[in-house]
Structure 1
Amino acid sequence: MPRCGSSADPSSAPVASRAVQSVATSIATSTKRLRDQAQSRSSSSSSSLASMWRDVQGSNNWRDLVKPLNSILRDEIVRYGEFVSACYKAFDLDSASKRYLNCKYGKRSMFEDVGIGNCGYEVTKYIYAAPGTETPRWIGYVAVASDQDEVRRLGRGTCS
């Protein structure tokens, strides 16, 4: 991700924009390939996540999940990659834009606008950073599971 504090020079924006677009394209391509592979596997892995979510989150240092790579862990890595890719896609690198170096989209529509609208999550907060005395810049978001099926899949009970 570009350094927030170094972007005052508009001439660096095209280079930064191409770099971020290249990274986003690479992530999107890899994510799509992995998602396609994940979808071709049995749907049993998503129902199993509820019983082993702590292990998938690293509570046991991913023991017995890495070699060979467990399909449930792989699916979760792909899912997190999609959320990271959403950040890159939402980051506004157009120096002529009023939202330059901030998120291009509103919280309610961000996931839809970046192509993952049915992910079962909703953005609740944006995260900003202010290096030095500069104006804070958008660096990411906080999202929570909002879909009952996603909450159950994660092994977290029910939404309230």
Structure 2
Amino acid sequence: MIENIVRRWRVLSGQDNWKNLLDPLDIDLRCYIIHYGEMAQATYDIFNTEKTSEYVGSGRYSRKNLFARVGLAIGNSYHYTPTKYLYSTSIVDVPEEFLLEPFSKEAWCKEWNWIGYVVVATDQGKVALGRRDILVAWRGTIQALEWIEDFDFPLVSAYKILGKAIIHKR
């Protein structure tokens, strides 16, 4: 299966708009989707939401142990080296719903939260993927006010995407 991904990564990444890959779902595409889904899920597994921890709002694990601690090191053919952790920050007072703040006064930080990571495929990962992959993964919505913002769906014109001819057809 890995050989297929090495050979087909461009097609699996959408080169032909996933023609003949979606119905039924191509097994290589399925593996590809699961791989990147697990990398995204890791951002939620890593984020420390424990309010009693002095490290609330940070990543639970060091970069060195990132994939071992979230269960992606064993049995995973796609090897990466974490290069950077990403943080969101605010220099203005924001409601607690936007930044997790610890109860402890000795907390590591009260102004920013961990949001994701950057990883680069190792030489072994490059062989498995057929290319040097750089992946940036960040967590999505967790806090209550983030969810409220997510449910605001302002309507926008599809003109820039579909063009005039499509919009005026009925």
**TM-score normalised by the chain length of structure 2:** 0.60
What pairs up with 1:1-160 in 2 under 5 angstroms?
45-118=1-74, 119=76, 120-130=79-89, 133=92, 135-148=111-124, 150-156=125-131
SS at structure 2 position matched to 1:108 = helix
Report the Cα offset of residue 84 of structure 1: 1.8
Report the Cα offset of residue 138 of structure 1: 1.0
Could you list the per-position Cα deviations for residues 27-68 of structure 1 after superposition, in whole angstroms to 9, with x for gaps in the alignment?
Answer: xxxxxxxxxxxxxxxxxx210111111111122221221111
The unaligned stretches of length 5 or more in structure 2 are 94-110, 133-170
Report the Cα offset of residue 92 of structure 1: 0.3
Amino acid at match of 1:152: V
SS at structure 1 position matched to 2:63 = coil
**TM-score normalised by the chain length of structure 1:** 0.63
- 130-139 or 87-96, which deviates more: 130-139
SS at structure 1 position matched to 2:21 = coil
CA distance in 2, matches of 1:86, 1:131: 24
SS at structure 2 position matched to 1:125 = strand
The unaligned stretches of length 5 or more in structure 1 are 1-44
> Which protein is bigger by CA-based radius of gyration?
2
How many residues align structurally? 112
Report the Cα offset of residue 99 of structure 1: 1.6
Q: Is the 8 A contact 2:57 2:112 kept in 1?
A: no
Over aligned residues, Cα RMSD in angstroms? Answer: 1.8
In structure 1, the partner of 2:160 is: none
Report the Cα offset of residue 132 of structure 1: 6.2
Higher helix share: 1
